[in-house]
Every structure is written in structure tokens, then in C-alpha cells.
Structure 1
Amino acid sequence: MKVASLKSGRDGQLLVVSRDLRHAVPVPDIADTLQQALDNWEALAPRLQVRYAELNAGSAPHALDFVPAACAAPLPRAFHWADGSAYVTHVELVRRARGAELPESFWSDPLVYMGASDAFIGSRDPIEVENEDWGIDFEAEVVVVTDDVPAGITPQQARQHIKLVGLVNDVSLRNLIPAELGKQFGFYQSKPWTSFSPVLATPDELGGAWDGARVHLPLRATLNDRLIGAPNAGVDMTFDFPTLIAHCAKSRSLVAGTVIGSGTVSNAGSESGSCCLAEVRCLETIADGKPSTPFMRFGDRIEIDMLDAQGQSIFGRIDQVVQRYQPPR
């Protein structure tokens, strides 16, 4: 099953979307919003699945064309957004580029921070930034969405709480990060709006590419029509999604609609390219002593997508242009 949210108010209007991403149908008789559906997932998911089957068969009433540009993020705002750094090879590369050692604990204890979830943006919404000098970077990631997760669960138990899978562009302002981390209190100004793929999908939509813990498919990042990378999201993921969920739920429960991010997808050696410009610049620094690839500029276009074995987009394409933000004066 695939779901999206039509732009409507703060929380959108829930849509069920066809497998081929061509058609959609509102489901107000089942749930008004995706959060409402997640709050009552056990009861409502079977009814949504029936509507999904009808839509794919061409018999769903009130079906309409699916237009990603008319959609918000599938969850326009969420109660909890926790982003990990599950690909430790990426962290190791970044540290090596600046001559820093990777603590041994990074291989056994996940890195996770709590991000801003009050206003996610849609797949076609612009990346609005006030200043190019802030170092505008994309980060292509896989995310999962949970139902209610009890505190203290094991990774094995966490598997059953993964209800939806999707993609995000976790935009970073790289030149603001050092000062923030220097305060030893985490990201804030350096993490603007996060954008989502047009749809989220239940794990069964991934078929054999989903093993219950990882998505074994390339994640494609294309900047200004040039493929920057397509690393396989199932390779070199040191901490899988159940492990990340259990880590986040160590000392407290997680509410339905919690979004857990993988962090930038990265494969060791980066032979398949990179899912962020910071990694590209680190590789250049290691090879040449300095980076040569600039961060994004106003007018740049970033596309993020994941294709199935038949070359069809699973979640729809994130397709954004960087725009100058003009603050009120």
C-alpha cells in the first residue's frame, strides 16, 4: 500500500496512491490524515488496503490523477523525528578527511539526534535558504515510520513496529554545523526543512528488497541532471532500522508516527558515488588536499529516487530547486 497527503491545512488530506503512482483516492470515510491512520493503524490499515486494491484494479470510486506537486510531505508534521547516522563508513570518511580518528564506540553505539518535525515539506517544494554561504547540501536517506513503540524493546521486537518506508532529503547547511557542534549541544540552525518522497509505502511493496531491517536497493541522487551517486541502501548499513528504533526507545516509548532516518546512505569506497556533497568533498580532500566541488547554489536542482527491479519509482521522486529565501523586513 502507498499513501500520500494532499496539501490541505497543516496536516494534509490522506490519499491512497496506486502502485504505479498514477492515480490516488481520498479516504475521508476511513481517515482524514495519515497521522489519524497511524494512531489507529491496526483497525484502519486493513480498510486502507482494501481501497488500495480497488484503486489498482481501477474500481475505486472518486479516483483522481496523482500529482506530486499538489502534495505535502506524507506526514506534513510529526510528533517525533529522529535521524541516525547508520552508515558508519560515511562518518569514518568525513573524520578521515579532517584528520580525526573514529572512536571505536561508533561501530557499536548508534549516533542519533532529534530533528525538527513541526513542518516537513513536500517533494516538489523549493529548498529555501537565505544565504548561499551557509553551505547548502542535500542528504539522501531512507526513513521508516512506526506505530506506538514500547520502551525497552529489542531490535527483533522492533521489526513489527515498522509500518511505512520512504525517502527524505535531510538538507544540511554545512558551514553552520561546526559552530553548532562546537557548543556540544547538537544541530539546530544548520538543519532547515526536511523534504519527503511523494509517497510512503508499506514494507511489502518492496518485495524481496526489504529483509525486515534494510532496503536493498540503490538510492539515486542527481544534481543538475548529473548523477552524484547511487549507493545501495542495504550495503554497509552498520545499524539497521530495528536497531535504530530500539536505540531510540531505550528509555522511553515512541508514539505512532515517529519517523526514524538512516542518515546519509553510503557504501565503503564510494564506488557507487555519494548521497551528499559533503562526502564528495571529503573524497576530494583526501585525494587532492582540498575540495573542488561547491555546495549547492540558488537555482540548483536536486532529484532523489529509488527504483525497483523493473526501473519504476517506488516512492516517487524528490525533485527540488534551491531558492533564495527573503525574510520579512
Structure 2
Amino acid sequence: MRLATFTTTAGADRPRAGVVSGERVHPFPPGLTMRDLVERGLEEVRQLAGEALTTGGHPLADVRLLAPLAPASVRDFVAFEEHVQGIRQAVTGVAGVPDAWYDGPTFYFTNPHAILGPEEPVPFPAACAARDLELEVAVVVATAGRSLSVEQARDHVFGYTIMNDWSARDLQGREMQVGLGPAKGKDFATTLGPWIVTADELEPHRDEDGFLRLWCTVSVNGAEIGRDLLSNMGWTFEALIAYASRDSRVEAGDVLGSGTVGNGGCLGELWGRRGTQDPPPLAPGDVVTLTVEGIGAISNVVAVAEPAPDLPAARLRDPALARKAASS
């Protein structure tokens, strides 16, 4: 099944969840969000979809597709070794892959409140000059779990969607010198869409090691800049879920990004390999399109947000003197 969230082109109605069949989307009962559907589970969703498909539905050309769901949380991994090689060189100036990368699928949390859908403009920070895209596939978690094994995690996969982890590389490179993960270099926008493809639909694409063999491509203004196989991941999606749940918890509706595919899945990787910003950073008005075999395609236009208010510089003081003064 392909499950979408949409409004009519006029945009006067409230968002609806629906099942896509051919070139039409058939709505589920009013009030049911995609998160509700995920929490109900695939079996109940199949029953609801069967009922929805008996209605006339709407032509896809007459609706506006939104981000398929409001995630409970968003974790983004770095599961492609080739991407790590290039992007580390671009952001930190250090070549190679850190030894720790091989120990487990590292991730960071990004902003679930800055989710965009297909065709929405991407508001890059006004202070950013090195605007970048990231071609990823994300898995949607079906049910809650804690410290899952990889085998158990197979039952926690609801489906998959395309993800663009937009990146302000100049902001990211500066803030990561502090020793934490990215913050303002990442949290302004993440695109999901165009819909969620349920897990069963992609099972025929699994290779002998359990990876999804899907071609992933990215283009800017119609010119392809990157192409890779999703099966070049270092870990399966089930392993990502298991690791995310280790000594912690995943919830229904969590979104876990694969990390950026290699071979040009983002501009930064190419900059790191070539030693120059070639291709150039994204510019306002550029159209970025991500396409993943078996899922679909999403496009967004690059935009620039209004300048944010200034912040004061850090207050510098001698902590020992301050404590002494406060205790006297």
C-alpha cells in the first residue's frame, strides 16, 4: 500500500489520510491521521484501505500531498561508509572514516516540528551560504519497543518514505567544532514523502543479506548529481531500529533516516572528494528532486528564511572568582 496525507488543491479542507491506487487517492474516515493508522497496525490499515478503495477518491492531480505523517521523533543515521568518507572531509577537513563508525550505526535527533512535504519551499537560514541536500530513505516504526534484537525489529517496521535531510554546511561545520552533533545546521527543515510505502510492498527488493536493493537518485534543476543503491548501507533498517531501541525506546510513528546515500547523495560529499564546491551550493529557486525505486519521488524548491534576530555573545567570566564572590 501507498499511504498519503493530502488536502484538495483548493486547500480549504482539513488534511486527510488516504490510500493511493494508480493515479487516485482514496480517503480514510475523517479524523484518522497517519499516526493513528501507524498505531493501529498494518492489518487494520489493510481493512480500512479495502473499504476506502470502494469510494471514488480524488485524482492525484487534484490534491496537494503533504508530509505523510507528523513523526513522534526523527533520528537520522549515517549508514553509508562512502558518504562518511566524503562529508567528513568537507565538514571537518579530516580524511577517512572514524574507527567508531564501524562499531554501530550512529545517529542524531533532528527536529520533528520542521517537517516539510512535497513541493514545499525549503527555508534555509539567511546566514547560510553552503546550502545542501541529502538523499535518504526513512523507515517508519510500527510499534513501541525497548532493547530489541534485529530479528524482533522486523515486526516493528511499518513502511518506508523518502527523506531529504536539508543541511546548512557552513553552520554545521562551525557548530560541530564544539564536539556535539549538528544543531542549527540541520534543524530548520526535513522533507518526507511523497507517501509511506508499507513494508510488504518492498519485500521483493530484499537481497540475500536482508538489504533493500533500490536505486536512489538526486537531481538539481533536472540534472542528475548522484545515484546509489540503498543496499550499500552498512546496516539494515531492522538493525537501525534495534540500535535506536538499545537501552532506550522506540515508539510507533518514529522516523529513522538511513543517512545519505553515497556516490553524490549530497553536494557536501562531492565537495569533500573534489576539494572545491563543485557542483556549487544550492541557490534560491533551485528545484531538488529525490527519486527512489519502489517508493516514488519528491521535489522541493530552495528558499531563504528571513534573517533571525541576533544573539548576544557568551558572557565570559572567571567561574572561581564568581563562586568566591557569591559565597562571601
Take 2:123 and 2:178, find their aligned partners in 1: how far apart are those partners?
A: 26
Matches within 5 A, 1:112-131: 112-131=107-126
Structure 1 stretch displaced more, 177-186 or 206-215: 206-215
Partner of 2:39: 39
Aligned to 1:254, the other structure's residue is in SS state coil
Aligned to 2:235, the other structure's residue is in SS state coil
Take 1:207 and 1:242, find their aligned partners in 2: how far apart are those partners?
A: 13
For residues 1-37 of structure 1, what are the alpha-carbon distances to aligned partners after superposition, in whole Å with 9 as ceiling and x for unaligned?
A: 110111489x93211111x3x10111116x6111011
Partner of 1:228: 225
Whether 1:252 aligns to 2:248 is yes
For residues 234-253 of structure 1, what are the alpha-carbon distances to aligned partners after superposition, in whole Å with 9 as ceiling and x for unaligned?
A: 12x11211111111100122
> 5+ residue gaps in structure 1?
308-313
Aligned to 2:116, the other structure's residue is in SS state coil
For residues 242-297 of structure 1, what are the alpha-carbon distances to aligned partners after superposition, in whole Å with 9 as ceiling and x for unaligned?
A: 1111111001221100101000011xxx3xxx111011112212xxxx34321100
Change (3 A) 1:62 1:328: farther
* Contact residue 150 and residue 249 of structure 1 kept, 8 A: yes
Partner of 1:17: 20
* Contact residue 137 and residue 173 of structure 1 kept, 8 A: yes
Cα distance, 1:88 vs structure 2: 1.9
Q: Which amino acid aligns with 1:163?
A: F
Aligned to 2:213, the other structure's residue is in SS state coil
Partner of 1:305: 291
Change (3 A) 1:326 1:95: closer
Partner of 1:295: 281
Cα distance, 1:50 vs structure 2: 2.0
Cα distance, 1:94 vs structure 2: 3.0
Aligned-residue sequence identity (percent) comes to 26
Take 1:172 and 1:239, find their aligned partners in 2: how far apart are those partners?
A: 23
Q: 1:73 aligns with which of 67, 77, 81?
A: 67
Take 1:297 and 1:132, find their aligned partners in 2: how far apart are those partners?
A: 13
Cα distance, 1:69 vs structure 2: 6.4
Change (3 A) 1:151 1:133: closer
Q: 1:137 aligns with which of 132, 137, 140?
A: 132
Q: Which amino acid aligns with 2:75?
A: A
Change (3 A) 1:317 1:190: same
Change (3 A) 1:92 1:264: same
Structure 1 stretch displaced more, 103-112 or 88-97: 88-97
Cα distance, 1:118 vs structure 2: 1.8
Aligned to 1:221, the other structure's residue is in SS state strand
Take 1:131 and 1:79, find their aligned partners in 2: how far apart are those partners?
A: 28
Q: Which amino acid aligns with 2:20?
A: V
Whether 1:282 aligns to 2:272 is yes
* Contact residue 68 and residue 198 of structure 1 kept, 8 A: no
> 5+ residue gaps in structure 2?
310-328
TM-score by length of 1: 0.84
Q: Which amino acid aligns with 2:64?
A: A
Take 1:69 and 1:223, find their aligned partners in 2: how far apart are those partners?
A: 24
Take 2:62 and 2:183, find their aligned partners in 1: how far apart are those partners?
A: 28
Whether 1:170 aligns to 2:196 is no
Take 2:230 and 2:134, find their aligned partners in 1: how far apart are those partners?
A: 13
Aligned to 1:231, the other structure's residue is in SS state strand
Aligned to 1:70, the other structure's residue is in SS state strand
Cα distance, 1:233 vs structure 2: 0.8
* Contact residue 81 and residue 97 of structure 2 kept, 8 A: no
Instruction: Say how many residue pairs are matched.
Output: 302
TM-score by length of 2: 0.84
* Contact residue 131 and residue 324 of structure 1 kept, 8 A: yes
Q: Normalized per residue, which structure has more strand? A: 2
Change (3 A) 1:210 1:67: farther
* Contact residue 4 and residue 199 of structure 1 kept, 8 A: yes
Partner of 2:318: none
Change (3 A) 1:151 1:255: same
Take 1:198 and 1:37, find their aligned partners in 2: how far apart are those partners?
A: 17
Cα distance, 1:146 vs structure 2: 0.8
Change (3 A) 1:17 1:131: same
Structure with the greater alpha carbon radius of gyration: 2
* Contact residue 77 and residue 257 of structure 2 kept, 8 A: yes
Matches within 5 A, 1:206-225: 206-210=202-206, 213-225=210-222
Cα distance, 1:46 vs structure 2: 2.9
Q: Which runs of 4+ in 1 moved over 6 A?
A: none
Take 1:233 and 1:258, find their aligned partners in 2: how far apart are those partners?
A: 20
Q: Which amino acid aligns with 2:271?
A: R
